[in-house]
Structure 1
Amino acid sequence: MRRLAPLALLLALPAAFYAGHWQSQRQLAVRLEQARVQAEQLQLRTVELEQLRRQLAVMESGEQLARQAGEQNRQTIKLLEEQVFQLQQELATYKEVLAPDSRREGLRIRAFQLQSTDDPRRFRFQILLSRVGPDERPLEGTLLVELRGRQGGRSRNLPLTTLAETVPAEGLPFAFRHFQAIPEGGQFAELVLPEGFEPLEVRLRARVKGQRLPLERSFRWAELQ
């Protein structure tokens, strides 16, 4: 029996070695299978991610085109509104000029058109002048515009020259026979109100060459918007 014990031990060593080797090979195979499955999942997720990126790019491109189209439509609508306003004013002026019962002759301050913008302190404006009477000589002169309102609890008057970059310090010049829009060509100028200024009234004063007394007209700010 004592002689057989070493022999049994020698025979058990190779068996243990092969058993351990088989176990490690099995674990390796399991890990390889897990790695293969994860690789397949990674590939699928990569494909899905690429598809989502392409879809997002298409959506963003579509939204950008939609925004551009919407902006173009808004600009077209704004241009049409300006053209309609210009035509309405011109038609009214022609009717007044040709009216047989019109007794007042000379310059008229017909309108001060005001439009708001996305900036609550920035506004677009246009002024329309006309004349009544058969005289064909051009009317020439200068138009001064002033905004009256309140700021800091006090009354304050601001000349348009301090609010609009396009208005010269000496005022807006005009020269016409029947009517004139300022600015011309259906365009609108811009003015920017100071912070905290509350406009209440727009006052216009026109001085015509050859006439001593100026023509004045006021428009309430609340009625212009």
Structure 2
Amino acid sequence: MSDTRKPNDEYVVIRHRPGYRLRRTMILLAFTVVAAIAGYAAGMAQGGFRFSSAEASNEQLAQELRSLRDQFRTARQNLVNLERGRAIDEQALREARNTIVGLETRISELEADLTFYRNIMAPSETSKGLQVDSFTLASARGDNTYRFKMVLTQVGNNNSFIAGQVAVNIIGRLDGEKEVIALRDLSDDIEDLGVRFRFRYFQDVEGTLNLPQGFEPYEIQVVAQAQGRNASQAERTFDWAQLTGS
């Protein structure tokens, strides 16, 4: 048999190793599993760190929330205290103002009384003897009901009593016609046409009057007549609108 091999051809002899490729594959697989486990462990470790940080942040926020709630409760209590203090101050201020108004009113009343008594005890030359000092009206139970008060005085000579009668008429219109109505016909407190008086310094006549429906008053006429040794007459007319402030 002739040798047909060429001079330049080379042959490589490889040792036959049964199971070698399988072992190499198993080693590579083992390295892959180990790397995967190591990566998972590292990821868990990192994730655990983040969880711990979140837990710490949550606790810090909870503390801040508790602190803010405490501050809110304190601020709200302070507001309540301030509101109460202001209400107390306002109440005290109102009471003080009411007291001042009451004192001013009382002072005015006392000054008026003082003037009244001075005029009685030390009158002028033109205002001596029997006087119709005043007539006042105040609304009572209804629109047509009024409380009245009339004051008669004896000015100057107060050594003896003065006595007589005083007549009071309310002048107005009824159904378009002038009407004069005696106080006796409007008040249950007055029985006679002339109200009797007897005093040394002054006398009040008080009561309640009721106006008839449709009657429009505009004047009150008062005529006082003293009898006896100090006989004299005093007459005065009062405007209804001024007395009632209407």
> Does structure 2 retain, via aligned residues, the 8 Å contact 1:122–1:193?
no
- Structure 1 stretch displaced more, 186-195 or 31-40: 186-195
* 1:20 equivalent in alignment to 2:74: no
Higher RCO (CA 8 Å, separation ≥ 6 residues)? 1
Residue in structure 1 matched with residue 111 of structure 2 by the alignment:
77
Question: Match for 1:171: what amino acid?
Answer: G
Residue deviations 1:1-35 (CA, integer Å, cap 9, x gap): 32323323432442232122012112112212322
Output the CA distance in 2 between the equivalents of 1:139 and 1:3. Answer: 131
Report the CA distance between 1:128 and its aligned residue: 5.2
Counterparts in 2 of 1:73 and 1:162: CA distance versus 1, 3 Å: farther
Counterparts in 2 of 1:150 and 1:206: CA distance versus 1, 3 Å: same
The structure 1 residue matched to 2:219, chosen from 172, 188, 200, is 200
Query: Structure 1 length as normaliser, TM-score?
Result: 0.61
RMSD: 4.3
Question: Match for 2:171: what amino acid?
Answer: R
Which runs of 5 or more structure 2 residues have no equivalent in the other structure?
Answer: 1-34, 141-145
SS of equivalent to 2:53: helix
1:142-161 aligned at under 5 Å gives the runs 142-161=165-184
The structure 2 residue matched to 1:53, chosen from 70, 87, 95, is 87
Counterparts in 2 of 1:76 and 1:186: CA distance versus 1, 3 Å: farther
Output the CA distance in 1 between the equivalents of 2:234 and 2:194. Answer: 16
The structure 1 residue matched to 2:97, chosen from 39, 49, 63, is 63
Question: Match for 2:238: what amino acid?
Answer: W
> Does structure 2 retain, via aligned residues, the 8 Å contact 1:142–1:171?
yes
Count of residue pairs the alignment pairs up? 192
Counterparts in 2 of 1:208 and 1:24: CA distance versus 1, 3 Å: same
Larger radius of gyration: 2
Counterparts in 2 of 1:89 and 1:204: CA distance versus 1, 3 Å: farther
- Structure 1 stretch displaced more, 66-75 or 157-166: 157-166
Counterparts in 2 of 1:41 and 1:14: CA distance versus 1, 3 Å: same
* 1:124 equivalent in alignment to 2:176: no
Which runs of 5 or more structure 1 residues have no equivalent in the other structure?
Answer: 94-109, 131-135, 210-214
Residue in structure 1 matched with residue 206 of structure 2 by the alignment:
189
Question: Match for 1:44: what amino acid?
Answer: N
Query: Structure 2 length as normaliser, TM-score?
Result: 0.57
SS of equivalent to 1:221: strand
